[in-house]
Each structure stands twice: as structure tokens, then as C-alpha cells.
Amino acid sequence: MSFYILWGEDQNLAEYHPKTIEIHGNIKNRIKSGPTSFVAQSTAFEHETAEDIENVLRQRKFGFTYSRIANPNMAQFEEKINLLEEGIGAIALSSGMAAVSVGLLSILKQGDEFISGYSLFSGSYALFTDTFSRFGIRPVFVNSTNEKEIENAINNKTKLIFIETIGNPRLDVPNLKKISAIAKKGGIPVILDNTLATPSLFKAKNFGADIIIHSASKYINGSGNAIGGVIVDSGTFDFNKDKYDDFAPYKKYGSLAYLAKTRRQIHTNLGTCLSPHNAFLLSLGLETLDLRMKQHSQNALALAEFLSTHKKVKKTSYPGLKNSEFYETAKEQFGNNFGGLLTFELESKEKAFEFINNRTFLRNLPNLGDAKTLIVHPASTIYVDYDDETKEKLGVNDRMIRVSVGIEYKDDIIREFDEILNKI
Ligand SMILES: *Cc1c(COP(=O)(O)O)cnc(C)c1O
């Protein structure tokens, strides 16, 4: 459970496949009695004696006190994700945005700069530009597939590099090994938003991600029924240095300093806790993650191949297409499964709207990672508040439709796209 992880319990379960860990969590610590499925829908937890609760709060004894701090469902979810990412500990939060904000605010303070790819989830872009700027924290945006640009952006105020495994909606794939080498040279950590690949497709730690963040609302949940987020520490970056002087009070936690600081100073104080019921739904979704990611990827590749040869489609972007400029990096990082997200462009905005309005089983929804195939016109929805220049920078245009390819029967998905394209 999470406090065990936070306090350094051996988590080496390397002999088990992720498919087994997704279902059973920490097999070595398994308690062989009690319910197999539960929701601890309780605000607080009683302890037998006054001494017991003191010991729990002082972390001398494992237990729970108040669900804003920790709860059995959160702990179970944290443990599974941490094992899958092969980290040293994890923190579950109320949303992916909570994970991004808390994960970064633990490192950044007034006067700091950080580097971020500008091919970015819209919520993270808004957080960096509209919210962090109010606290004197400055994002420096770069093209995350141009390593020289990243290297040149580092100065003595730079505290971290933030990138997404697969940029959305540009669908570019930064080279994590190269970026990690640059970060190491600069003495700063790489924070990776791994939402689109999940631990099933991408073992980010092996490629140099120091901190891994997920919106669990997407593929981890898998059914579009709960919002949540998670932060995992790979344990590869040492914050015990002058540049990160506000980590000094957490030095006593050794390699767990980042997790302890993030959990106590930021997460608990801001109250970004995950609800027990959502933690339960996310753990449930996690049980089939590996199966689903393979199917999402196979379906998306087949649909991308179909769209890229259709005469009414002007452009198709998917990192698994051999003619994608990101194919080589994607192949090196993900193997043969490239995720479920793709975009395609029609002749005009009108045609894109017509496409959406002619759908049958496709859903017109702005989220992603659902078992159902979702389509959305990003320019008029997710990015509606942005001017054309910003949209261009973020990789969005009026002709584009984004598809989160689901796990329905592949030929049914392709048939629906074919029928609509032939109609419009
Ligand atoms: C959805 C998403 C987020 C934000 O997650 P929420 O759970 O919606 O708060 C962050 N990053 C990426 C890549 C996402 O797709």
C-alpha cells in the first residue's frame, strides 16, 4: 500500500508480467482474507487506542486516518500503478490536471522557469500560461522533437523539462532518451505525461523519465466513468542539491524526498485527493489495461492506414504510419503498438462538421481513451478560446478531426468511416 511504498518497502516484482500485476497488485504482500472488491467510502478511520492513531500519523504503523491524506482504495490504485511503472512510489489525485499541477508545483516556486513542449494537452497549456504565470513561474515552450532547441532553452533558472509521450493533437513523439541525456547534463529532471501511451505501451523509466504523470481518466479507466490522476517517482533524480534548496527539510526521507514533499506540502494541503469510489473504478479499469491498449493500437493502425489512402482525406497523422516523421522514434519507444489516437483532415471545416453530423455509432466527445470510438472537432471545442496563431502552434486547424479509436470490432469502425466519407 502507498505508505509502505513511501517508506521504502521492497517493490521488486520483476518476475510477474504486467498483465498479472494489473489484476493482483502486490502479490508478495497479499492478505489472503477479506473482500476481493470493496469501496472504503469513509471520511475518517478509527483506531483502538490514542497511541495507535499517533503511531499511524507518525508513520510508525501502517494505517489510515483521514481520506484527504490516504484511503485504502487510493492506496491500492497507487500501488498497482507504481508497480507497472516500476517506480519507488506513487500518489493518486483527483484528476490528471491535479497530477500535472501538484507534480510540478512540488518542484517549482516563484522566479523559476521550466521547459515544456508546446505540443501539449490544452488543459496543461492553460495551466502553464494562465495559472502558473500568476505565481511567477514561467514556462518556456519549445518544439519537443527538436533536442537542440531544448538544450538551448536551459539556463540557471530552469528547474525541469515537461513533455508528453505522444503530443496531442499533433501526435508527435519526442525522443525521451535524447531529452533525458540533455536534462542529465543540465542537472534537471524530466517530467513525462504518459497518459496516451500508458505503462502498457511505454516503460518510460527505462527511457529516462524521472517523474511520470497520468490522467487516469483516459485509458487507465477505459470506460469514461471516472476522473483521476497519478504521479509516479522513478527514483532516478536526486533533489538533494543546491538548485533545489527547498527540498532541504525532506532530506531525511532520502530517495523518497520528492514523494514525501509532494504528498505533504502540496497534495494534502491543496486537497487534491481522489475520491475512494473513483479510485475503485480506476483500479477496476486497470485490470484490463494491457488487453485494451493492444486492441486500441491495432484498431487505430488499421483505421489510419485506411484513412491515409482515402481520396477525400487530405492528411492523416498517426505515429504508427510508416510515412510519419515520428515513426522511427515511436517504434524504438513503443515497439509495435502506437496507441489509440489519430487525426485526419478533410477539405474544409464544413466537411469536418458534416462528417461528425453523419455519425452512427461514433460518439462526438472531447475526451479520449474510452472503449468507444470518439470523434471531435478540436478547433471548435477543446481549442475554441485560442486564436489562430496559437492553434497553429498547438497543431490544430479547422479541417481536422481527432479520433480516439475504441476497441469495437475493427471492420465495423472502418466501415462507418468509409460510409460517412462516401456520403459527404
Ligand atoms: C486528459 C489529459 C490530461 C488531464 O487529465 P484530466 O483527468 O482530464 O484532468 C492531462 N494530460 C493529457 C495528455 C490528457 O490527455
Please state, in angstroms and as integers, the Cα–Cα distance from residue 258 to each residue in 17, 149, 232, 251, following that order. 28, 28, 10, 9
Residues of the chain with pLDDT > 90, as a percent, come to 85
Stretch 156-181: mean pLDDT: 96
348 — pLDDT class (breaks 50, 70, 90) = very high
Give the pLDDT of residue 332: 97
Question: Is residue 144 lining ligand 1, measured as CB closer than 6 Å?
Answer: no
State in Å: Cα 59 to ligand 1 middle: 32
Residue-wise pLDDT for 284-320, tens only, equals: 999 999 999 999 999 999 999 999 999 999 999 999 9
Percentage helix, strand, coil, to 5, in the chain? 45, 15, 45
Stretch 21-48: mean pLDDT: 87
What does the CA dihedral 284, 281, 292, 288 come to, rounded to 10 degrees?
0
| Nearest ligand 1 atom to alpha carbon 97 | 9
7 — pLDDT class (breaks 50, 70, 90) = very low
Domains and CATH numbers, the chain: 37-286 (3.40.640.10), 290-423 (3.90.1150.10)
| Of the candidates 345, 340, 329, the residue with the CA atom closest to the CA atom of residue 368 | 340
State in Å: Cα 96 to ligand 1 middle: 5
pLDDT exceeds 90 at position 6? no
* Collapsed DSSP state (helix, strand, coil) of residue 19: helix
Question: Is residue 198 lining ligand 1, measured as CB closer than 6 Å?
Answer: no
pLDDT exceeds 60 at position 105? yes
Mean pLDDT of the chain: 93
Give the pLDDT of residue 2: 39
- What's the one-letter identity of residue 137? I
Give the pLDDT of residue 36: 84
> How does DSSP classify residue 23?
H
